Amino acid sequence: MWDLALIARLHGGAGDGGPLYALATDDAHDHYEQDAVSIPGRGWVMVRCASHDPDDIVRAMRAGDFHASSGVKLVDVRSDSTRMTIDIDAEEGVTYRTEFIGATREDDETAPTARVLATVDGDSAIYEFNGDELYVRARVTSSRLHPRPYRKGDFEMAWTQPVRPRGLRPATTTTTTTNP
């Protein structure tokens, strides 16, 4: 659904054509019963911010400088006009697969379709832009089962915000290349 909304905004002119960021939340309502449906610890966001000041955190989130997670920790997410790079805080005995997901522009008449553009195994992943991408985002899946899954068999994951490559208006308003 996120990809359909991104395509509508970035290609179809819905809304202001700007970014649509993703959050992960556990929507917890049941804090004491472990077998309850809405328990904490299933999803959260990690914000890249040098301080804990609420205004700074909000500013970073408005700039898209955060990622969603259900357990995978990303050390750094960065992009420039040629590539998107993901560095994972790898844990011993756990493997990681990064899928770069996006939509490519076929022509002005045909609406793009989201698909997996590339898959990389390891604790670092780079996607080189081809120049025809409307946007690119990443989904990182670990080999570790989530300790408090929504569905049996769910793995720990992380999701980055979308970026727009090669001189197009960026999906995020800032690009960070260092980890504070």
CB 120 within 8 A of CB 126: yes
Could you state, in order of their start, the residue ranges of all structural domains in the chain?
2-159
Is residue 64 a contact partner of residue 173, using CB atoms and an 8 Å limit? Answer: yes
CB 162 within 8 A of CB 134: no
Q: How far apart are the first and last CA of the chain?
A: 32
Residue with tokens 């205004």: 55
Give the pLDDT score at 54: 96
Q: Residue 121 has what pLDDT?
A: 99
Calculate what percentage of the chain has a pLDDT beyond 90.
Answer: 55
C-alpha 163/C-alpha 110 separation (Å) is 21
Model confidence pTM above 0.85: no
Summarised one tens digit per residue, pLDDT across range 84-134 is 999 999 999 999 999 999 998 876 677 788 999 999 999 999 999 998 898
Alpha-helix runs per DSSP H in the chain: 2-10, 54-62
**E-state strands within the chain:** 44-47, 66-69, 74-79, 83-88, 96-104, 114-121, 124-128, 133-145, 155-159
Q: Are strands 74-79 and 83-88 parallel, antiparallel or unpaired?
A: antiparallel
Task: Tell whether the torsion through CA atoms of 53, 55, 60 and 66 is positive or negative.
Answer: positive
Tokens of 54: 């609420």
For 56-74, the pLDDT digits (tens) are 999 999 999 999 999 999 9
Structure confidence at residue 150 as a pLDDT band (50, 70, 90)? confident
**Which residue type does 49 have?**
C
What is the pLDDT confidence band of residue 175, given thresholds at 50, 70 and 90? Answer: very low
